[in-house]
Amino acid sequence: MPPLSLPMLKIVIPRTAIRTPAPASPRPDVSIIIPARNEEASLGACLESSIAQTGVTFEIIVVDDASTDRTRAIAQSFAAVRVISAGPLPKNKDKDRHQAGKLWTGKNNALVAGAKQARAPWLLFTDADTVHRPGSLARALTEAVQEQADLLSYSPEQIVVTFTERAVMPVIFAELAVQYPPRQVRAQSSETVAANGQYILVRRAAYDAVGGHAAVATEILEDVALARRFRDAGQRIHFRYAADAVRTRMYRNWMQLREGWTKNLALLFPRPGFLAFQSLLLWCAAWGALLLAASGTVGHHWVWIAFALFWLLVYRRISAAHFATVNSLLAITVGLPIFAYLLLRSKQAYKNGRVSWKGRAYDVSAPGESTREETLVVKRIPAN
Task: Please give the pLDDT value at position 294.
Answer: 65
Residues paired with 369 in a beta bridge = 367
Please state the domain count of the chain.
2
Mean pLDDT, the chain, as a whole number?
A: 86
The pLDDT of residue 312 is above 50: yes
Task: Please give the pLDDT value at position 310.
Answer: 75
Q: Are residues 200 and 326 in the same domain?
A: no
Residues paired with 64 in a beta bridge = 36, 85
The reported pTM is: 0.85
Q: Are residues 103 and 127 in the same domain?
A: yes
Q: Are residues 224 and 361 in the same domain?
A: no
Q: Are residues 74 and 210 in the same domain?
A: yes
Q: Are residues 209 and 317 in the same domain?
A: no
**pLDDT one-digit tens code per residue, 153-194:** 999 999 999 999 999 999 999 999 999 999 999 998 889 999
Q: Are residues 218 and 281 in the same domain?
A: no
Q: Is residue 36 part of a domain?
A: yes
Measured at the alpha carbon of residue 99, what is the angle toward residues 95 and 105, in degrees to the nearest 5?
125
* Average pLDDT estimate for 336-355: 95
Q: What residue numbers bound the domain in which 334 lies?
A: 267-380
What CATH number does residue 53 fall under? 3.90.550.10
Q: Which residue has the higher pLDDT, 192 or 365?
A: 192
The pLDDT of residue 353 is above 50: yes
Q: Are residues 297 and 326 in the same domain?
A: yes
Q: Is residue 86 part of a domain?
A: yes
Q: Is residue 238 part of a domain?
A: yes
Task: Please give the pLDDT value at position 289.
Answer: 75
Task: Please give the pLDDT value at position 302.
Answer: 60
Task: Please give the pLDDT value at position 299.
Answer: 56
Q: Are residues 237 and 211 in the same domain?
A: yes
Q: Are residues 237 and 88 in the same domain?
A: yes
* Number of H-type helices and E-type strands within the chain: 14, 13
Q: Is residue 164 part of a domain?
A: no
**pLDDT one-digit tens code per residue, 29-66:** 999 999 999 999 999 999 999 999 999 999 999 999 99
> Considering only 143-157, 192-206, 360-374, which range has the smallest mean pLDDT?
360-374
Q: Is residue 243 part of a domain?
A: yes
**pLDDT one-digit tens code per residue, 207-266:** 999 999 999 999 999 999 999 999 999 999 999 999 999 999 999 999 999 999 999 999
Q: Is residue 181 part of a domain?
A: no
Of 251, 286, 320, the residue that ends a domain is 251
The pLDDT of residue 290 is above 50: yes
Of 251, 276, 293, the residue that ends a domain is 251
Task: Please give the pLDDT value at position 201.
Answer: 98
Task: Please give the pLDDT value at position 103.
Answer: 78
Task: Please give the pLDDT value at position 7.
Answer: 46
Q: What contacts 203, CB < 8 A, 6 or more positions away?
A: 121, 122, 144, 149, 150, 151
Q: Are residues 114 and 241 in the same domain?
A: yes
Q: Are residues 336 and 207 in the same domain?
A: no
**pLDDT one-digit tens code per residue, 271-284:** 999 999 999 999 98
Q: Is residue 369 part of a domain?
A: yes
**pLDDT one-digit tens code per residue, 107-156:** 999 999 999 999 999 999 999 999 999 999 999 999 999 999 999 999 99
Q: Is residue 44 part of a domain?
A: yes
Q: Are residues 217 and 352 in the same domain?
A: no
What is the distance between the alpha carbons of residues 329 and 167, in angstroms, rounded to a whole number?
8
Element (H, E) at 154: strand 151-155
Report in angstroms the alpha-carbon separations of 146 from 126, 149, 150: 21, 8, 11
> Considering only 145-149, 263-267, 342-346, 359-363, which range has the smallest mean pLDDT?
359-363
Of 251, 276, 297, the residue that ends a domain is 251
